[in-house]
Amino acid sequence: MTEKIGVYVCHCGTNIAGIVDVEGVAKWAAEKLQRRGVVIARDYKFMCSSLGQELIEKDIKELGLTRVVVAACSPHLHERTFRNACKNAGLNPYLCELVSIREQVSWVHTDKAVATEKSKAIVSGGVERVIWHEPLEPLRVPIHPATLVVGGGIAGIQAALEIADAGYHVYMVEREPSIGGHMAQFDKTFPTLDCSACILTPKMVDVGNHPNITLLTWAEVTNVDGYIGNFQATIRQKTRCVKTELCTGCGICWEKCPKKVTDDVFEAGLGKRKAIYTPFPQAVPKYPVLDKETCTYFLKGTCKACEKFCPTGAIDFTQEDEFLQIDVGQIILATGWDLFDVRRMPQYGYGRLDNVFTSLEFERLSNASGPTGGKIVLRDGVTAPASVAIVHCVGSRDKNYNPYCSSICCMQSLKFAHLVHERTGAEVYNCYIDMRTPSKGYEEFYQRLLEEGTHFIRGKVAEVTNAARTNEEEGKLIVQVEDTLIGKQRRIPVEMVILSAGLEPRHDAKEVGRLFGISCSADGWYIERHPKLDPIATMTDGVYIAGVVQGPKDIPASVAQGAAAAARALGKIQQKEVAMEPIRATINQDMCSGCRICNNLCPFNAILFHEDKMVSEVNPALCQGCGTCVAGCPAGAISGTGFSNEQILAQLDGLLLLNIKRLEEVPA
Amino acid sequence: MKEYVYFPGCSLEKIAISYHLSALETTKKLDITLKELEDWNCCGATAYFHVDELLAYTLVARNLAMAEKMGTEVVAPCSACYKNMYFTKQHLAEDPDLTEHINDALQEDNLNYSGSVTVKHLIEVFSNDIGAEELKSKVVFPLTDLRVASYYGCQILRPKKDHEDVEQPHFFEDLMASIGATPVDFPLKLTCCGGSLLISSRPAAYSMIHNLLYDAQRAQADVIVTACPLCQVNLECYQQQVNQEYGTQFHIPVVYFTQLIGLALGIPPKKLGFGKEFLSPKKAIDAIKNIKSQEEVITQ
């Protein structure tokens, strides 16, 4: 045996030591694995502390260790810590193996004896494996200084401006004709009630005018290749039918367009737009978009009113989709959310009972530049309601729809209650399950509403019906709810009902995620690298997430996450190059049959196929070392660095304690 | 010709005899045979499952096991029977140990429950298997101008919570529209009729019946159409008491959907069990009579 192995067993306070006899494990390893090369085995209260690390470094130097096994928490948490400790002591960091006896043992077992035995087996597996480790060198790749921001809502805007202001180039791609996102649809923002447009539009204008930002609206990313530092993105610029270099945004075209269409996107179906339009007056960019599906010219072949009246000749009916190729180093996804489809809850009557509104509809109703000019009125367009019920948690916190809390609806509903009360003087009833107002200034806003005289009823609404039982209820919407504070069923007749619908992942979040090589949680939100310590990064290096794509959050939190993602990207740009994990798959080209099974298995699109040689090859910069292709290759032509057959089989040998059995058969 | 195993349940023997007669007559007319389950026993009703679950499941499993011997689909006209059979089938599918235990008992009777039989409510036979379109093509006397409140009750849909729209269904209305009737907007169509509350708390039951009658009258329904014997009894037989209790003047006939379908298919009212009710559905029958007399005039 040529290797000198050190084994370090961590107590993790009582996290591990409470269930596992850590001293026993260390003693056992020193004794039983001595003939496998273990020269020292220690236990320590916190191996990850600087004292714990120094212990390892000292042993490497003084005992000349050539391999290190740490039995502690998951490699997710501290692999890097112990690799660095090895590196500091002059040992190649990849000659260290971290085995988990916390997540895989102490946290999931209750029987101390069994847990201790299992820990011994895991340590034994680690020792056998580490013998086969090879020194590896991380790959270094240069970082392209430009960043792609996908989604022009408040989170994307913030991220783009932070990076552009720092002097680096940003491509912003937005699917709709204008940036602004959902925030542009709101009238007021909670809890301060500032005008949403007043705080948002200056930022939109900054994006539009920034010399470092290339703004591509009415565009979508269709393909992404490459890896951190070197992504190539293909962007489809959808047909605008407007030459942006000539258009001045004067508005004559949409003034003259004879075709009125219901605006289901920006006006939530409450207002109209023309076939050629900008969604709202402060839209950025100012250029309109011609909607081919409703334009009279495209439907019937005649009209061309916009072209006739355009003073600069900017209308071009012959335009076609254009595809742009851009190179970027990093990508920030801020693609936002969709509103829960309240029709999925027919018991609340939306679509069947006229005066049931969605939260987005109400945002437009209350917006001064909305279809009613900010007048809160019933579906007839004139009558102000004398009584309004606001139903919380529609589609949220409900195992039949979405089990999660949408986070913003309580505050949004309080805002609605305030606006209704202020503008119509109506009686307002808020039906909530729990009132959740945990951020700065939110509880104070709730107190303010309590003082304003809004009625608060704690109970989940059972249904909204028009089945009147008395003359007073006749013609009203009746909200049936159990008031759990007084323990009684209540029927509340009102004239208007607002459904505070939850937030859902974008309908195409999954496909978009696949495009960028990131995945969704069970709820459909993009998965962050770590839920607490890294909610910005994803499992794909160089792709970050910001705003509601990561999970429901309000405007301040979205802005903070946008800025954080930008900071992360800027940090990488300034390092100019990035070190990449050398854990990679490689294909033995002599053994590859060219079947291409691995091409489709790779979740990171890292495998290319050489048509000429009929063999596949792994792009080492793109490969994340997941091992899927290794397991999938029918010819066994792919091996994973750090996960070779020898390493895996040796680890199994150790786990089953076959190594010790063999030793016992042969006398020392 | 399509065949179903028919589980009438106890109500259809006596109190809901008109449901029984009309079910058999209408299906016959539509080329469907309802083959009565031999030696069937009680479905467990509302009470038994709360008294002894094991025995209740065994009771229902016996019926299902016998049904498996006779065919692949068992049909219950009564919503409570349907619910008990549907739940039992679901529950046993999830609990193989219980199924084995019950099968040990059934063995005494030379029976075995395998789970192969499909459980259906009679209204599903009409709305799904026959379909509103097909039914429409068979109508001889459309019930024009008859305003009907299609009353689902609670037990037809609730068991299917997992895969159907249980909040605002419209298949009952579609069925009524297919025979020419006018389904009214009846928001309480899924609300409970009170069930067996009449036994334990009369005031509570009266209040629930009152709400339903109020809603039907508000919608100007000529008749309430039901698919459950208990709903029918509660809404019709207790209308007088509700009127006394609440000082109301409700007079709304309550009939089975098969009775109205039968009329539209040209089956004589008597064969459909008409004439046995407390509140005569005169308008429904008159609608047919008018058409008939007009036709007689024409043919003469």
**A618: Cβ–Cβ under 8 A, 6 or more apart, which residues?**
A584, A585, A586, A587, A606, A607, A629, A638
In this prediction, residue B281 carries a pLDDT of 84
Taking CB atoms and an 8 Å cutoff, what residues of chain A touch B215? 467, 469
* Residue in B with minimal Cα distance to A474: B218
Is the predicted pLDDT of residue B298 greater than 80, yes or no? no
Is the predicted pLDDT of residue A641 greater than 50, yes or no? yes
CB contact under 8 A, B167 and A345: yes
Q: Give the torsion sign (CA, A28, A34, A37, A42).
A: positive
When pLDDT is averaged across residues A604-624 and rounded to a whole number, the result is 89
Q: Which residues, in sequence order, are bridge partners of residue A173?
A: A150, A216
Is the predicted pLDDT of residue B297 greater than 60, yes or no? no
Task: Using pLDDT thresholds of 50, 70 and 90, give the confidence band for residue A520.
Answer: very high
Task: Using pLDDT thresholds of 50, 70 and 90, give the confidence band for residue A358.
Answer: very high
Distance from the A496 Cα atom to the nearest Cα atom in chain B, whole angstroms: 18
- At residue A261, φ and ψ (nearest 5 deg) are -130, 145
Tokens of A265: 């996107």
CB A570 within 8 A of CB A482: no
CB contact under 8 A, B168 and A467: no
* Residue in B with minimal Cα distance to A471: B218
% of chain B exceeding 70 in pLDDT: 94
When pLDDT is averaged across residues A460-483 and rounded to a whole number, the result is 95
CB A373 within 8 A of CB A423: no
In this prediction, residue B291 carries a pLDDT of 65
Among the ranges A547-556, A657-666, B188-197, B289-298, which has the highest mean pLDDT value? A547-556
Residue of A345, A466, A469 with shortest CB distance to B214: A469
Taking CB atoms and an 8 Å cutoff, what residues of chain B touch A466? 185, 187
Which of B152, B160, B167 to probe the A interface (max A CBs under 10 A)?
B167
The strand order across the sheet containing A543-545 reads A213-216, A170-173, A147-150, A330-333, A543-545
CB B135 within 8 A of CB B179: yes
Q: How many residues does this entry show for chain A? A: 668
CB A340 within 8 A of CB A241: no
More confident residue, A624 or A618: A618
* Residue in B with minimal Cα distance to A345: B167
**Number of CB atoms found within 10 A of residue A167's CB:** 10
Task: Using pLDDT thresholds of 50, 70 and 90, give the confidence band for residue A353.
Answer: very high
A465 and chain B: CB distance < 8 Å anywhere? Answer: yes
Which of A342, A399, A465 to probe the B interface (max B CBs under 10 A)?
A465
With CA atoms as reference, report the closest residue to A38 among A74, A8, A11, A71: A8
Task: Using pLDDT thresholds of 50, 70 and 90, give the confidence band for residue B300.
Answer: very low
CA–chain centroid gap for A298, Å, is: 38
In this prediction, residue A626 carries a pLDDT of 86
What 3 state SS string does A127-140 have? Answer: HHHHHCCCCCCCEE
What 3 state SS string does A108-123 have? Answer: CCCCHHHHHHHHHHHH
Which H/E stretch holds residue A254? Answer: helix A252-256
ipTM (interface predicted TM): 0.75
In this prediction, residue B278 carries a pLDDT of 87
* Least confident interval from A97-106, A125-134, A136-145, A318-327: A136-145
CB A502 within 8 A of CB A394: yes
* Residue in A with minimal Cα distance to B165: A346
* Residue in B with minimal Cα distance to A344: B165
pLDDT per residue over B102-140, tens digit each? 999 999 999 999 999 999 999 999 999 999 999 999 999
In this prediction, residue A581 carries a pLDDT of 81
Distance from the A287 Cα atom to the nearest Cα atom in chain B, whole angstroms: 44
pLDDT per residue over A567-605, tens digit each? 999 999 999 998 888 888 999 999 999 999 999 999 878
Residue of B167, B168, B215 with shortest CB distance to A467: B215
Tokens of B106: 């059934």
pLDDT per residue over A202-229, tens digit each? 999 999 999 999 999 999 999 998 889 9
The B residues from 188 to 227 touching A (CB cutoff 8 Å) are 188, 211, 214-215, 218
Task: Using pLDDT thresholds of 50, 70 and 90, give the confidence band for residue B47.
Answer: confident
Taking CB atoms and an 8 Å cutoff, what residues of chain A touch B185? 466
- Longest Cα pair distance anywhere in chain B, in angstroms? 69
Averaged pLDDT of chain A: 94
Q: Token pair 């200084």 is at which residue? A: A145
A467 and chain B: CB distance < 8 Å anywhere? Answer: yes
A195 and chain B: CB distance < 8 Å anywhere? Answer: no
Taking CB atoms and an 8 Å cutoff, what residues of chain B touch A347? 167-168
Residue of B165, B187, B214 with shortest CB distance to A465: B187
In this prediction, residue B286 carries a pLDDT of 79
Residue of B165, B167, B211 with shortest CB distance to A469: B211
B173 and chain A: CB distance < 8 Å anywhere? Answer: no
CB contact under 8 A, B167 and A346: yes
Which of A399, A466, A472, A476 to probe the B interface (max B CBs under 10 A)?
A466
With CA atoms as reference, report the closest residue to A78 among A52, A41, A39: A52
Q: How many Cβ pairs within 8 Å bridge chains A and B?
A: 21
Task: Using pLDDT thresholds of 50, 70 and 90, give the confidence band for residue A138.
Answer: confident
When pLDDT is averaged across residues A286-315 and rounded to a whole number, the result is 95
pLDDT per residue over A224-242, tens digit each? 988 899 999 999 999 999 9
Distance from the A263 Cα atom to the nearest Cα atom in chain B, whole angstroms: 28
Is the predicted pLDDT of residue B184 greater than 70, yes or no? yes
Burial class for A87, CB neighbours closer than 10 Å (0-12, 13-18, 19+): middle
Instruction: Give the predicted TM-score (pTM) of the model.
Output: 0.81
Taking CB atoms and an 8 Å cutoff, what residues of chain B touch A345? 167
CB contact under 8 A, B168 and A345: no
d(CA B194, CA B206): 8
In this prediction, residue A583 carries a pLDDT of 85
* Residue in A with minimal Cα distance to B189: A467
Is the predicted pLDDT of residue B285 greater than 80, yes or no? no
Tokens of B61: 């499993």
CB contact under 8 A, B188 and A467: yes
* Residue in B with minimal Cα distance to A343: B168
Tokens of B65: 């096991």
**A60: Cβ–Cβ under 8 A, 6 or more apart, which residues?**
A6, A68, A86, A89, A90, A91
CB contact under 8 A, A347 and B215: no
Taking CB atoms and an 8 Å cutoff, what residues of chain B touch A463? 167
A468 and chain B: CB distance < 8 Å anywhere? Answer: yes
3-state secondary structure of A437: coil
CB contact under 8 A, B167 and A347: yes
CB contact under 8 A, A346 and B187: no
In this prediction, residue A227 carries a pLDDT of 86
* Residue in B with minimal Cα distance to A466: B187
DSSP calls for B48-102: HHHH-HHHHHHHHHHHHHHHHHH-SEEEESSHHHHHHHHHHHHHHHH-HHHHHHH
In this prediction, residue B160 carries a pLDDT of 67
With CA atoms as reference, report the closest residue to A618 among A634, A631, A602: A602
Which of A344, A350, A353, A463 to probe the B interface (max B CBs under 10 A)?
A463
Is the predicted pLDDT of residue B80 greater than 80, yes or no? yes
When pLDDT is averaged across residues B210-225 and rounded to a whole number, the result is 95
